[in-house]
Structure 1
């Protein structure tokens, strides 16, 4: 299994006039998928074409044929997932076993060690992941070459409504509903938190993949009614240095659980896979 945030080492990144066009199947036509699909349709990424869209809802405005997953695997050589962790769990192995490559946006699924082991054994398709709404992952990956970090903490702050989950009890639900200031919703490891917040904490999994140890990464999830920006703060310490990264993004207007930047991170990763790394979309 090949994994990457945005610069896959197993892919030739030189431009070549005869390189075949990658046939893209896009899973999900929501806040992420629409931006990615529109960019492909409008020709902003030479070397890639939107061949089909996979979505469990009937689409009336899709710019490419809507196919089933099985039919998509017959005509595509790269699947871009933008539909949630459940899709990764259900389909990732089958995509790779078909010989089709897979780019994962919902990295939260990859904190499941059993799934990761199965993906490592699958193929001949290759799997890539995007870092999404957070930066500094390349540096954390580089630090691993010097030795293990001793502590890593991610603090994510979002609007309360984007964090409510069916498993929450009445007390916590009421605290979120009536919050007038920051409320700590959960504290756990990067292995535990993405499972509890499958649409809101893919960043935790991306940090875990960069550091190589989901159990090392402490994740603090905070709800704040004043959080007009979604904020992620990464703090890491080790024998070779101390690191701190902070980002604050505007939420997507149609899906506040997703930051506006996420589909553009997917596009950047996709550009690397199709051989246009380093170019600005």
Structure 2
């Protein structure tokens, strides 16, 4: 397998660490695309051992020339907009971590068109949430009612619009600062609402998926709660995610989910 990775931050590192731990030498070539070459070289120096060959690039065409058949986006919403269509049009499957970018309908349509043109797929890992398989099945029989609640410690909401709505440092009790559609949640809280976007894409869409975002001083970890009611089944799921050590806005499982998407490409049994 030849793998392309866009970004060299904490999520990319978590993904490569997991691949190295579970499938050493799975990769023939690891090609990393970055704006800061030094950052990419540091990542390769630390984790490039999971591949027989590794390279760092600052231009997408150079990364694609390595023959990467699968490209993992680990660099944020802007990277999806900047590189996504070109990756797909070149016939390379794209694993999107920053699914909140797809709340932009024009961008989503452009990526779909590019995927059709290139004969490629847009792959959406579960990230920090679970139950997406059941949700996707449920929507095949009627239209489910889908509600997602994201609870995080106040510090995890710093640097977002929540700071203008709450005094995060002074909170003594849980405070809901957003209730509405997944589309607006992904737009207004891009670093924190990728889970809402993934649920929307797996289920009933951005407009129909209801979201509540909560700053809770009584918790130390990110909590994700999904409730689904449909003609086929009803279920609720609550996940407590350990925050990434490099970015408290992101659950550790987000990077591990990216690794799972890569490992499944080579697995005999895919689950």
Name stretches of at least 5 consecutive residues in structure 1 with no aligned partner.
Answer: 1-21
1:65 Cα deviation (Å)? 2.2
Residue 70 in 1 paired to residue 70 in 2?
no
Sort the Cα spacing of 1:155 and 1:39 in 2 relative to 1 into closer, same or farther, 3 A. closer
- Matches of 1:48 and 1:273, distance apart in 2: 11
Sort the Cα spacing of 1:206 and 1:71 in 2 relative to 1 into closer, same or farther, 3 A. same
TM-score, structure 2 length as denominator? 0.86
Which protein, 1 or 2, shows the higher relative CO under an 8 Å CA cutoff with sep ≥ 6?
1
User: Which residue of 215, 229, 243 maps to 1:223?
Assistant: 215
Alignment RMSD: 2.1
- Contact (CA 8 Å) 2:125, 2:261: kept in 1 or not? yes
Q: What is the number of equivalent residue pairs in this alignment?
A: 255
1:188-199 matched pairs, under 5 angstroms: 188-199=180-191
1:251 Cα deviation (Å)? 0.8
- Matching residue of 1:267: 259
User: Which residue of 92, 95, 105 maps to 1:113?
Assistant: 105
1:56 Cα deviation (Å)? 1.9
- Matching residue of 1:131: 126
TM-score, structure 1 length as denominator? 0.83
Sort the Cα spacing of 1:91 and 1:277 in 2 relative to 1 into closer, same or farther, 3 A. farther
- Matches of 2:268 and 2:153, distance apart in 1: 35
- Matching residue of 1:177: 169
- Matching residue of 1:241: 233
1:272 Cα deviation (Å)? 2.2
1:186 Cα deviation (Å)? 1.1
Structure number with the higher helix fraction is: 2
Sort the Cα spacing of 1:166 and 1:156 in 2 relative to 1 into closer, same or farther, 3 A. closer
- Matches of 2:21 and 2:239, distance apart in 1: 29
